[in-house]
Chain A
């Protein structure tokens, strides 16, 4: 349905998006994951025709949208990262305004406004000014405004930044429902791994302007199929014990966390017995030993050497 071909963008000679290829099938829910500054928002701005790519192409049903973006604009609903609403207007007035600008027919606009308000759970508060809303409520109206013209593709740029858990759940549920019941194609960007894991069938991981991995959750996790992530809690911290563990042939990485040690080792390397022997020698007890089920966060860490919130 929608694809980018070697899409790139440079600002003052610096490449912020570097030849990325993304595709979205109709009715799919796809995540675009990456830390702040990875180039997600720039990618979205290019896809939604707000900025022109330096090179590459964006195709909607096989047809380039760069020269004439009118077709993609018709089918696109974009939820920007910022609260793109008039604070001095009520929720209803904002939706009416955006509905009118999207040329939703007069006789159906009122119905659509009530539908989207119901969807985001703010029907009862529609007569209140946006400036009196909490951050979470504003973000929900921000989403509602993008749904008025019933877009086929919904692009959400970090729609849950800085909001309370209740509003966050509501937003995730709304997006899931839209994808499930209306068949809306969703491109969801976030730096919250768990949101993307919950919502999206397929994920693109982006870092420093490049797609560094992509696929279904299972496919991405299989990247870590040769590794175990082990959390170890010790009775005392010992520098010599840490050095000993690092010297084990099957240990790839060792990080100190606030609860102990995080060890990435070769899968099924029987690390426990070696660890018990080494700690006994140092007179240190192993309080806790846990082999973690890998998450997308671990995949990201593995690929970039840093966490998503870095």
Chain B
């Protein structure tokens, strides 16, 4: 039996007091969770803290404007080009993945320490930018198109594959300077998020049909290899499984 209780008597607030008080007093990093005192068996519900919600692949863009989305798709299909190994990053859903990530809690770095003063340090001191991922994309995509207009008289998305590759390589090396954002920092976040989308569980919008997992031979969300661990140097030929299962396991509609 649960004796979980609010901590008014023990050193916190009751739920009612909390709801009636200023939300600004909430501990930001812990969201809406409130201080609790536990004795005896803590109460919990199965899955109660498992908030990962599959994204809707077919919904409208959640963060990007249609123009921004087209630019991102034009980037990710060059970072991960279609070839005999896999479809492109665009067709694998990487742009959808990035859009949904930017619209979620990652997009404004709500979990990240964002107090100033912001100042450049040594490389070893890491990312010191005051910009959130949303800002990095918004500024970076606009600056990229500005650059392409000035130098190619075209938008990035309208350039050919080899031209896009050349520009991406120059962003990566820092040979192009963008107006409103450090070009290397912009390239790095796009590359990181593209790879996250390509290789993450497909429920987040990328890695459609587990294409990346099939490509490298990663079995995905399996959890018991006790019967396989001592089968050394052998191709175990697992078909991958996602957190949502597999399409061919579902009942046909």
Question: Does B associate with A?
Answer: no
Interface residues of B (CB under 8 A from A): none
Interface residues of A (CB under 8 A from B): none
